[in-house]
Every structure is written in structure tokens, then in C-alpha cells.
Amino acid sequence: MIYMVDHIFSDAAMEPAWHEHYAGYLLKLLGVPGLTTAQRFKAVDASPPRFLAMYSVSSPAIYDSPEYKAMGGGGSQSARFHGAYQMWTRNLCEGAEFAPEVKPDELVFTLDCDAPDEELSGLFPGKLVWLHSVGLHITTQYRALVILDRESAAKARSVGRGFIYAPFTAFLTSQKR
């Protein structure tokens, strides 16, 4: 399963402190049994800044675990930054066992839809994965996820909707993966 967190962060003065906080938070999350990978991304050409975090999780039971609750999962650790969030959504998705590793020279394209779109799938044959939201905020029924090289980003831009993200952090893994 893939756990995705979307943020629009609107306070430029607080943004460096938020990123510092989030870097430590990712490491704490990777200590939770069943949460095995983490990576953050920043949207290309988005204003105000938009961010995406993707995690690999073994099951929805993680969110009820004592370890997750004890480390402040679910946003309680970042309460001092909540006033700068124009948007904060959390979606737990089926459709892939693990979040993909996105290398520094790659991009991520996401697009939210009510149902899988065959025309969109045809633009990215063999690359597009349809994720189905099954838990947490469920702000979309389906999310298209495609890893792109920088040259194929024009194809994603031609869709006219969705977001293209560049890696903001390295792909992190837990010791238990």
C-alpha cells in the first residue's frame, strides 16, 4: 500500500523550519513497524509551493498501532505548522505494494480521477499505475502515478491537469524492509 500526503505550504518564512521538522519526522516514521519507505517531492512550477510525501505501508492497522500513536503520527507532531497549510490531505491507496523509488533525475506525475482513465493509461503504456484510495481522508477515488524521465515530462504536461513533482529528499528505507 502507498500512503500519500499532499501539502500546500503558504508561509515562506516558516518553510525552512517545516522542512527541517519533516526531515526528522520521516526518520521517526520509518521506525514504525510496517512503514518501510519514505520520500518527499516538490511540485514543479507550483505557487504556492506544493509538496507530496509517499510512504510504503503494510496495512491500515499501522495508524492504530501504539508505535504510530506514540511518535505523533497523523499530524500532531506538526501542529505548529498547520496555520501555513492551505491544504493537507492524507490518502491510503491500494494498487501497488510499495511506493516507487524516484531517482534525482526522475519526476513523478500524479492525477486524481473518479475512475481509471484508459486514454491517460495509453499515454504512458506500461508505466502508469492506478492507485485506489481506501483509507484516511479519501480525497480522490483514484490517483494515477507515473515515474517519468525529464524528457517525457512534456507528455505529462500535455494532459493539462495533475501535478509533476521532483524529488525533494532521497528515497529512505527502514531497517525492516
Question: In whole angstroms, what separates CA 121 from the centre of its chain?
Answer: 20
8 A C-beta contact, residue 87 and residue 46: no
Task: Please give the pLDDT value at position 12.
Answer: 93
Return the pLDDT at 175.
76
Q: What is the value of pTM for the model shown?
A: 0.94
Which pLDDT score, from 0 to 100, does residue 152 have?
86
Q: State the amino acid at position 155 in one-letter form.
A: K
The per-residue pLDDT for range 102-137, each reduced to its tens digit, is: 999 999 999 999 999 999 999 999 999 999 999 999
DSSP 16-45: HHHHHHHHHHHHHHTTSTTEEEEEEEEETT
* CA–CA distance, 136 with 58 (Å, rounded to integer): 15
Report d(CA 26, CA 147) in Å as an integer: 21
Residue 75's pLDDT is 77
Q: Is the pLDDT of residue 76 over 90?
A: no
What is the helix, strand, coil percentage profile of the chain, to 5? 25, 35, 35
Look at residue 44 and tell me whether its pLDDT is greater than 60.
yes
Alpha-carbon separation of residue 53 from 91, 102, 128 (angstroms): 11, 12, 18
Asked if residue 116 has a cis previous peptide bond (ω within 30° of 0), the answer is: no
Mean pLDDT of 15-32: 93
Q: Is the pLDDT of residue 161 over 90?
A: yes
Name the β-bridge partners of 4. 54, 91
Q: Which amino acid makes up residue 158?
A: S
Instruction: For residues 62 and 37, give the distance between their C-alpha atoms in angstroms, rounded to a whole number.
Output: 14
- Give the residue extent of every domain in the chain: 2-173
What fold is seen in the domain 2-173?
Alpha-Beta Plaits (3.30.70)
